[in-house]
Amino acid sequence: MSGCLTIVGLGPGDTRWLTPAASEALAQATDLVGYGPYLVRAPERPGQRRHPSDNRVELDRARYALELAADGARVAVVSGGDPGVFAMAAAVFEAVESGDPAWRSLDIRVEPGVTAMFAAAARVGAPLGGDFCAISLSDNLKPWEVVEARLKAALSADFAIALYNPISSARPWQLGAALSLVREVRDPDTPVVLARAVGRPDERITVRSLSEVEPSQADMSTLLIIGASTTRLIERDEGRGPYVYTPRSYGVRS
Amino acid sequence: MSGCLTIVGLGPGDTRWLTPAASEALAQATDLVGYGPYLVRAPERPGQRRHPSDNRVELDRARYALELAADGARVAVVSGGDPGVFAMAAAVFEAVESGDPAWRSLDIRVEPGVTAMFAAAARVGAPLGGDFCAISLSDNLKPWEVVEARLKAALSADFAIALYNPISSARPWQLGAALSLVREVRDPDTPVVLARAVGRPDERITVRSLSEVEPSQADMSTLLIIGASTTRLIERDEGRGPYVYTPRSYGVRS
């Protein structure tokens, strides 16, 4: 088999966050496979074939990409952010494991990218400056009890928490349930960052206190960062939002 | 005040992972401030001043950078990986909070980058494909009890765990203590990724089972990724290391 497959992280929206390595992987591909809105972010190349698909068919998309590669294509599977974070890389390896044994001989690579939580954090300061965790609130692929147990553990250990996939029309109540758990443990003044469409023209980043956050302030393009007990605001001049950061030190004076 | 300060993430070693936005921030700076080995990775520009410093003086370095910016310089503080992840961004905001109130009027930005754990994950597959956390094992700025409590919580919730700053000559026993905690909970066959100097010419990535991992296999340039209970290996042809990935699904069939 002469084909190959690279799962490429586009970063979060802004092409100025697309790494040179990712650009190169896109340029070298004969075939691009991915969710339609991500595909349009890859620069057009004459002769390159594009295979856009729906958002909810990751495993089918992964198998299709592997078939193309097995037929000799140089395939790039495009993914928003970093492909290893709640994105296409795991889907491709799931497909490899359960699929045609010949797929294991393919040259499969992952090209990392800037993931949404770090782009969101950068916009406001350094809210993930201490220990942190990332949890997908989607219960499409794991039971809600697992999400709940992970949230509780993260709260008990005082991690800053990034919440991916907080809400969608098919999952309307999960964010509210998660916020209720957070409110049982964290102070009402805990800073929460709501980062919508970070790096895209319609980006909207807001900082609220935990007591002010409502699920209706988020949508499926939003990522939330919930501060740890040590996460702090630095107020600035009128009209400029505060900086939000989590000190590196914890329980000791630096 | 006309100066500005950007904390720039260089990514993990390979300049092909330096984003265009980070390159631009470096190019526009009149002054570069940072740990010596990071500074040399920024391309030389005529007229640009460089202020290398030691690794263990983050807060002094942050204050010095803020003073330069307050004097009108366009300062770039360079940081490996992503500056918001166990790196310079939090140190700068700590310095702002405790320093000259005028510093709050400066234009301070953070330029995100690819952090080491995603570059390491990409090299082997998708070990961070499910929920995960990142913990610094350094107890320079937080008591060991906090590290221990966070590790225990992460283990109980079955997160994949990225361990930053696992070991150094001044902190020789912490990784061994952490691995003992992990072994109390996770299966001896759990995949562990040891990623040394990822993206640098001396990169060395190895995958071992938890039972085989020894602290002596890590050094201060190493990042560890400890799999969750669901993290799996896909064996490949002789001579090629296995893929390591964590499926997106948990406790349900996809």
**Which single residue is written with the structure tokens 């510093």?**
B103
Identify whether the C-beta of residue A109 lies closer than 8 Å to the C-beta of residue A74: no
Listed as ranges, residues in chain A with pLDDT below 50 are 253-254
Nearest C-alpha neighbor of A204 from the set A212, A213, A193: A193
State percent of chain A over pLDDT 70: 98
For the beta carbon of residue B12, count every other beta carbon within 10 angstroms. Answer: 26
Task: List C-alpha distances in Å: A3 to A165, B57, B212.
Answer: 33, 49, 35
Scanning B164-183 for CB atoms below 8 A from A yields none
Q: Which residues pair with A184 in a beta bridge?
A: none
Nearest CA in chain B to A252: B142
Closest by alpha carbon to A152, among B248, B154, B244, B135?
B154
Using only C-alpha atoms, chain A has a radius of gyration, in whole angstroms, of 20
Nearest CB to A131 within list B82, B104, B136: B136
Classify residue B219 by burial, with Cβ atoms within 10 Å: 0-12, 13-18, 19+. middle
Q: What is the pLDDT of residue B74?
A: 98
**Segments of chain A assigned to CATH 3.40.1010.10:** 4-114
Name the helix (H) or strand (E) containing A223. Answer: strand A222-226
Residue A254 has a pLDDT of 43
CA B114 to chain centre: 9
Cα separations (Å) of B101 from A244, B2, B67? 16, 15, 12
- Residue A251 pLDDT: 79
pLDDT of residue B17: 96
Q: ipTM value of the model?
A: 0.96
> DSSP per residue over A71-117, as a string?
TT-EEEEEESB-TTSSSHHHHHHHHHHHS-GGGGGSEEEEE----HH
**Residue B238: per-residue pLDDT:** 76
| Residue B238 buriedness (CB in 10 A; 0-12 / 13-18 / 19+) | exposed
How many Cα atoms within 13 Å fall on the side-chain side of residue B87?
Answer: 30
User: Any bridge partners for residue B10, and if so which?
Assistant: none
- Kindly report the nearest CA distance between residue B83 and chain A, in angstroms: 8
Q: Do B104 and A237 touch (CB under 8 A)?
A: yes
Q: Which CATH number fits domain B4-114: 3.40.1010.10, 3.40.50.2000, 3.40.50.720, 3.40.1190.20?
A: 3.40.1010.10
Check residue B54 and give its pLDDT: 77
Chain B residues near residue A115 by CB distance under 8 angstroms:
118
The mean pLDDT values, 10 residues at a time, for chain B of 254 residues are 90 94 97 94 92 86 97 97 96 97 95 97 98 96 96 98 96 97 98 97 97 97 97 90 94 58
What 8-state DSSP symbol labels residue B103? Answer: G
Say yes or no for a CB contact (<8 Å) between B150 and A142: no
Cβ of residue A229 closer than 8 Å to a chain B Cβ: no
- Chain A contact present for B24, CB below 8 A: yes
CATH 3.30.950.10 positions along chain B are 117-245
The candidate with the shortest Cα–Cα distance to A178, out of A199, A201, A158, A148, is A148
- Alpha helix locations (H) across A114-236? 116-124, 144-156, 174-185
The fold adopted by the segment(s) A117-245 is 3.30.950
